[in-house]
Structure 1
Amino acid sequence: MVCRLFECLDVPVYYADSRAKWLTNHDPGIREKVTALLGPEAYAEGFYNTKYVASRVFDNEPLLKELNAIIHPVVMRDTKSWVAQNEGIPYVLKEAAIMGKAGEANAVDYVVVVEAPVDLRIQRILQRDNRTEQEIRAIIERQVSDEHRREIGDYFVQNDDDSELIPQVLHLHDTFRNAGSSRN
């Protein structure tokens, strides 16, 4: 939702997770390496078999790291190419579930953390995805903690049922436009 609001302000947004899924299905190098790592079942009927891959890597940290080492560099190159295509625009956004601190191998100037209470996040995911609450909680447990997100964040947006998003996004939009013009 936050990214869609920025898009309404004509700010280009790179959706890293959806782009990674697209690249995983369409980049021949990824397909070849993932198949070598996980077997032909990794691509069912020509498409990335998310359920199969998740079942193989969810509780296997070394295998997950190998999979990430295949996909993440391609996504980073794709991100850099996309940023170059948007050169001359005051600023762009990269939406990503996994992020390090600004400047730590992620080529971003600032990290905006969108926060919501865990129970509200679970409720939203239940409405959006075909997952059980138990599956969602297991995924949340494996993600970085809210405390870690607060440590790496430069700016914070509250996306709960009490806070208005539009004023928060407009404030960030002004902040980023001013930061971009001060660098030129």
Structure 2
Amino acid sequence: MTSPGPITIGLTGSIGMGKSTVAAMFLEAGVPVFDADAAVHALQGVGGRLVPAIEAAFPGSTRDGAVDRTLLGPMVLSDPAAVKRLEAIVHPAVGEERAAFLATHASADMVVFDVPLLFETGGESRVDSVVVVSAPADLQRARVLARPGMSIEKFEAILAMQLPNAEKVARADFVVPTGGSHEETRRAVHAIIACLAARQTPSS
């Protein structure tokens, strides 16, 4: 059963799976997308309202009026207690941004919430359908290690914080494969939109 208002789609996938590409394809197709990572960047950027709280909790993690991820990362990456402290600051604020986005797009047929750690934070309970983006492990690894500043150690530490891809796929309502061409991926996105739109149409 869908909730009142737009159908809410949780879009997720492990690092390097192509989630940003898929989010752009939903947007291209006219579906509003809430980017949780972008919201976090704004909240932690210059003048962001979370900067003072994060500096207080993690002294030395900000520079020039913004959270510096290269400074904050090592403070939390392998420390579950530190991760929880950071989440307690960040998640409520992102929730407020999410609610504002939903209010703005209340008349849309459907909206996408692009959330990297959807399952890890229990976010699947707050959406109508979950879409998982998936690619072969060797392609994922190649994509991530090609990123500036990425190392095998950092990649493995990030993976350790995320549910295994196989588990995400098993728990998904829809899976978008990104190991093939962009056109194949786009067709999968459009098929999901059509399927959800059909569910929303009242039967005669």
Q: TM-score range by the shorter chain?
A: 0.7 to 0.9
For residues 159 and 86 of structure 1, the distance between their equivalents in structure 2, rounded to whole angstroms, comes to: 28
Matched with 1:65 is: 84
5+ residue gaps, structure 2: 1-20
1:50 aligns with 2:60: no
- For the pair 1:98 / 2:117, whether they are aligned, the reply is yes
Identity %: 22
Structure 1 partner of 2:22 = 2
Q: 1: distance between equivalents of 2:169 and 2:123?
A: 12
Deviation of the 1:147 alpha carbon: 3.0
Q: Does 1:159 find its partner at 2:178?
A: yes
TM-aligned CA deviation for residue 95 of structure 1 = 0.8
> Corresponding residue for 1:74?
93
Structure-2 residue corresponding to 1:15: 35
TM-score (norm 2): 0.80
Q: What residue ranges of structure 1 are gaps of 5+ in the alignment?
A: none
Aligned length: 179
Please state if 1:148 is matched with 2:167.
yes
Kept in 2, the 8 Å contact 1:122–1:137? The answer is no
Tell me if structure 2 keeps the 8 A contact 1:102–1:111.
no
Larger RCO of the pair (alpha carbons < 8 Å, separation 6+):
2
2:48 is aligned, of 21, 24, 27, to 27
Q: What TM-score, normalized to structure 1? A: 0.88
Q: Which runs of 4+ in 1 moved over 6 A?
A: none
Whole-angstrom distance in 2 between the partners of 1:98 and 1:83: 19
Name the structure 2 match of 1:37.
57
User: SS at 2:110's partner residue?
Assistant: coil
Judge conservation of contact 2:118–2:124 (CA < 8 Å) in 1.
no
* Residues 102 and 109 in structure 1, CA contact (< 8 A), matched pair in contact too: no
